[in-house]
Structure 1
Amino acid sequence: MALYEETLTNRVFQIIMLTPILAMFAGLYATYQAGEGVEIMLATTVGVTVLLLDVIAIRIEIDERELRIRGAIGLVVRKTIPIENIASFRVGEGWTSCYGTIHFNLPARGCVTIHQRKGWTISFTTNNPEEVARVLATLGVPRAP
């Protein structure tokens, strides 16, 4: 059972990401009409489409055992952090005030930076940074100064 769940999206970003997807399909159609390189263009179109669809949303889930950050599909954009591996966290105001070695970023009200005991610093944006902070504090994770 999840203690916290949020799916973060941005309509403007989604519309911007649809442009290259449509362009890839137009290129696929053009190569099909030309009759050459269709297999390569098909593989490229599928790969780019999966990647772009995965980055148009961020899903954040926190339960008793771990913090999971996933993209819309969860194939490319995904990170799972065990709660016992979190050394501390920091909450930032605004979606541009956090940084991490790995950063999941869409426009939002705030952001959270996770400092791990082992591994890189992870940061992500959220519309409810204080709710994320409350859940992490409830799980015994200290807030960084």
Structure 2
Amino acid sequence: MALYEERLTSRVFQIIMLVPIIAMFAGLYATYQAGEGVEIMLATTIGVTVLLLDVMAIKIEIDERELRIRGIIGLIVRKTVPIENIASFEVREGWTSCYGTVHFTLPGRACVTIRQKKGWTVSFTTNKPEELAAVLATLGVPRAP
């Protein structure tokens, strides 16, 4: 059972991501009409479409064992951090105010940086910074000074 769950999306970003998807399907139709390279274009169109659909939204989940960040599909955009591996966390106002080695960003109210005991720092945006900070503090994760 998730203690915290949030789905972060941006309508403007989703509309922008639809442009290359539509262009890829137009290219696929053009290669079909030409009769050459349809297989390559089909594989490319499927790959690009899956990638772009996956980055259109971020889902953040926290339970007793781990913090999970996933894209819509979760094939490409995903990161799991065990709670016991989190050294500290920091919350900053503004979605462009923090960075990490692994960074997941969409427009939001705040940005959270997770420092791991072993591994890279992970950062992501959120619209509910107070709720997220309260859940991490409840799980015994200290705030960065």
Q: What TM-score do the two structures reach when normalised by structure 1? A: 0.99
Does 2:103 match 1:106?
Answer: no
1:9-24 alignment, distance < 5 Å: 9-24=9-24
Does 2:115 match 1:115?
Answer: yes
Q: Distance in 1 between matches of 2:107 and 2:52?
A: 17
Show the counterpart of 1:70: 70
Q: Distance in 1 between matches of 2:4 and 2:119?
A: 23
* Per-residue Cα deviation, 1:35-75 (whole angstroms, up to 9, x for no partner): 00000000000000000000000000000000000001100
Does 2:136 match 1:136?
Answer: yes
Structure 2 unpaired stretches of 5+: none
Runs of 4+ in 1 over 3 A off after TM superposition: none
| 1:50 match: secondary structure | helix
Structure 1 unpaired stretches of 5+: none
Q: Distance in 1 between matches of 2:13 and 2:34?
A: 32
Count of aligned residue pairs for this structure pair: 145
Percent identity at matched positions?
A: 85
| 1:137 match: secondary structure | helix
After superposition, the CA RMSD in angstroms is 0.4
Show the counterpart of 2:36: 36
Q: Distance in 2 between matches of 1:103 and 1:133?
A: 18
